[in-house]
Amino acid sequence: MSARPRQCHQPKAFCKSMTQTVAVIDYGMGNLHSVESALREAGASDVVVTADAEIILAADRIVFPGVGAIRDCLAEFRRLGCDTTLRLAIDRGTPALGICVGMQSLMARSEENGGVDCLGFFDGTVTRFPRNHSDADGTKLKVPHMGWNQVSQSQAHPIWDGIEDNAYFYFVHSFFLAVAESDCVTGSFDYGVKGCAAIAKGNVFATQFHPEKSHDNGLKLLANFLTWDGTC
């Protein structure tokens, strides 16, 4: 279930260089350098890490990463006005990718930090893994869920093109969205419970796992995002 896949040797580029601008939203709470580097390796030639609304709205694609406590993430995100900017960009049809806490922030609510109202792009509530967490055989599972896990593709989507079903991706999280919480789940993982690995609606795709840490599979996903027109 969580065994690490064979080490991958990255190709020089997954696709020809993209001339479009990718804005990575900088609100001080994401793996910004790692995300930027992975996007460039996946083929993006113009990646801008910024919180500037004008630059974000002018971008061809937007990435919303996130790590840490969701209350702090959303407080800073809203303080900078990034919530309004992101909503406007999505309403305009700009393809957007959420990563980890970025995905959780797009939900309606999270139980983390005593309960937090999120951005509400998707229905559903993010919950913590159970205490004394174990798999079906009774084997205790560590929380946070940290490491490689297979992702089952529950719905077809252009972002999955060229990625095998049940491919491995890298996860780091203590909170998750149960699959039953949303009809928009496009990929799931099994870690004692069945959780949402990826979710999509319209021009928004988001992952609980970190594509920037997921070797070839992650780079292929990012390359697909760079060519995705925002439709399914």
Q: Report which DSSP code applies to 181.
A: G
Q: Rounded distance, CA 91 to CA 203, Å?
A: 9
Q: Which whole-number Å values give the CA distances from 232 to 16, 91, 179, 202, 228, in the listed order?
A: 22, 16, 20, 7, 9
Residue 64 pLDDT: 96
Distance of CA 144 to CAs 73, 175, 209, 221, Å?
18, 8, 13, 24
Terminal Cα distance for the chain, rounded: 29
Q: Is residue 168 in some structural domain?
A: yes
**In whole angstroms, what is the distance from residue 227 CA to residue 210 CA?**
19
Active site (catalytic) residues: 100, 210, 212
pLDDT value at residue 196: 97
* pLDDT value, residue 15: 45
169 located within any domain: yes
What backbone phi and psi angles, to 5 degrees, belong to 31?
Answer: -80, 70
With 0-12 / 13-18 / 19 or more C-beta atoms within 10 angstroms meaning exposed / middle / buried, residue 75 is middle
- Could you count the other beta carbons within 10 Å of the beta carbon of residue 134? 11
Q: Which CATH number covers residue 142?
A: 3.40.50.880
- Asked whether residue 156 is assigned to any structural domain, the reply reads yes
* Angle (CA) 63 68 72, round 5°: 90
What's the domain range around 59? 18-227
pLDDT at residue 134, as a whole number: 82
Can you give the pLDDT at residue 10?
A: 41
Bridge-partner residues for 198, per DSSP?
A: 187, 207
Residue 6, domain member (yes or no): no
| Residue at 111 is within a domain | yes
pLDDT, position 19: 62
- Look at the chain and report how many structural domains it folds into: 1
pLDDT tens series, the chain, 232 aa:
444 443 333 433 444 444 689 999 999 887 899 999 999 999 999 999 999 999 999 999 999 998 889 999 999 999 999 999 999 999 999 999 999 999 999 999 999 989 999 999 999 999 999 888 888 888 899 888 999 999 999 999 999 999 999 999 999 999 999 988 889 999 999 999 999 999 999 999 999 999 999 999 999 999 999 999 999 8
Cα diameter, the chain: 52
Q: In what order do the strands lie in the sheet with 145-153?
A: 44-50, 18-25, 61-64, 96-99, 204-207, 194-201, 185-190, 145-153, 167-173
Question: Does a structural domain hold residue 122?
Answer: yes
Three-state DSSP string of 25-66: ECCCCCCHHHHHHHHHHHCEEEEEEECCHHHHHHCCEEEECC
Residue 2 confidence (pLDDT): 47
74 assigned to some structural domain: yes
pLDDT at 232: 81
Position 4 in a domain: no
Rounded CA separation 200/197 (Å) = 11
Q: How confident is the model at residue 155, as a pLDDT?
A: 95
